[in-house]
Structure 1
Amino acid sequence: MSASRKPSKCGPRKSGVRLTSRDRRVIGEIARYGAISRGQLMELGFFSSVSRANRRLRLLVEGKFLRRTFVATGPQQNSTIYVLGPAGVDVAVEDNSFDPIEMKRHGRRSPERMYLEHHLGVVSIRLVAIRESSDLRLLRYIAEPDCRHEYEVVVRGRVIKRLMKPDALAVFAHGDSMLSVYIEFDRGNTSLPQMAALFARYEAYWAETAYQSAYETDIPFTVALVTTAGRRRIDNLSRLTRRAAVSVTFTTFAQLESKGFGAAIWKSAKTEEFSTLWDPLPEGGGP
């Protein structure tokens, strides 16, 4: 009788590719953020060289765990982008608490430019938070699949289902306090009525105590909207939040990338001055 072979900790060979633990983490991260560039994967620490990244990512594409596409970043210059492939759906769901239906949708979705640029922007904001060198210290950066929240409320005797789908939730430490910041990435192509509805959902999330129950805290959160558009866009959006019951603040991606989360680059409808995220910051903690 031949000796039995112990199964690999990284799982069986699929589509001719034996998945390593790093492969599974890469698949999970791409499923989590929707799209990630090769350069972003390297900055996040998954690969130490372009040649190693290309070699391993090519195998994952050939095995249909990932799909590869390109986005123009300049004249005759493209950035290599990776999105979830059909064979990667089961891996992502198995290793993470992702919604299988959502993941299957990601695995089939055509990687359109607007979709790619939005998700790449959310990852870029995460990288800015990781590089933060001010008094703010990043504790957690939670992507949309991990901080989306479906909940129910009773309104006039009727049960109504609500869904919060922030782009991300960043939790920072500042001194002895923690600051929870919901991230929204705006490319200037969403209508003002749609943006007003987004801000209203955050107000309801707080007023209906769904946030407090989910994270077991009564410390208010901040909504930080980062836009690739200019000051006029910020002025138009801030007018929508003049009477908002939650803190909503705005900056441009250029300012954020240049100066970081901790700089006085944030504009709100409450003041004409730019301020920091923690001014004023309530005592206590967050999620």
Structure 2
Amino acid sequence: MRRTSPIFDFRHEGNVLRASIAATLTVAAVGIILGLASGSFSIMFEGIYAIVDAGMSLLSLVVVNLITAYAQSTDLPPRLRERFTMGFWHLEPIVLAMNGLLLMGVAVYALFNAVSSLLEGGRDLQFGLAILYAAITLMICVTVATIETRANRHLGSEFIRLDVRSWIMSGCIAAALLFAFAIGLTVQGTQYQWLSPYIDPAALALICLVVIPLPISSVRRALSDILLVTPVDLKQRVDEIAARFVTEQGFLTYRAYVAKVGRSHNIEVYFILKPGGPPRAMAEWDALRDEIGEAIGGDGPHQWLTIVFTEDPEWA
């Protein structure tokens, strides 16, 4: 039976991102070469956009490897583990926010250039080469977005989800350029040929107006994680479970602290006991912690759960 090469094994997040980086660099190289050859700034924009995206995908891959190595306690240098005793989950929302903001910044810059070109009378370009680029890029974008979407059904990675969105954006850009360049080629030698110089900057301006707001939702979610905004649904679940154990065990009350940082859930629950209660063996407290942890659920490598019992509210 023929075995699949590990490089093309898309059951792992890192392999999916590596394939995406390779495809992105291909699109960038083709875009820059054909953009220069055809004189199209919109093609150059997509090439530069792809380079920025590839750089952020590479950074995402590094973060994914660090998170996985820490969570699985493998392949992580002892010195690095000593310096980051709380893990690397906090890097994920930082990278996601940087990714979205950089892509938006590139699009805003390109929009200003497109408007400036329109005001200056546009630019001439070779529509044949431009159409060739748009067709090649569209096929690559559709292929990669489809593969990543199928892989992420099982992986559930926010990095891959953002990367899929980026490929969809690139595909939409390529489709719009293909349509615009086809119109430009059609009007050659007709009474509408005067429109030709405006087609490239007009297409770029419209594309930028569509692209700029697309990463906003990802940036907003990443900022929520960076600022440790408490997820309402997770906090509600922890509150319900903690309140139930307070009633069952006869505790005074509890205090719960919940945050989502990237793919990790940080949960701290402090149960405040009645002063002077009957003593319990440590094994009983540990068994109770296990029971509470099982009730909260999500006992995986990406959950940081702390359960404390104390009579002093100051410790909570």
Question: TM-score by structure 1 length?
Answer: 0.25
Instruction: Give 1 or 2 for the bigger CA radius of gyration.
Output: 2
Higher relative contact order (CA 8 A, sep 6+): 2
Q: Name the one with the larger helix percent.
A: 2
Q: Name the one with the larger strand percent.
A: 1
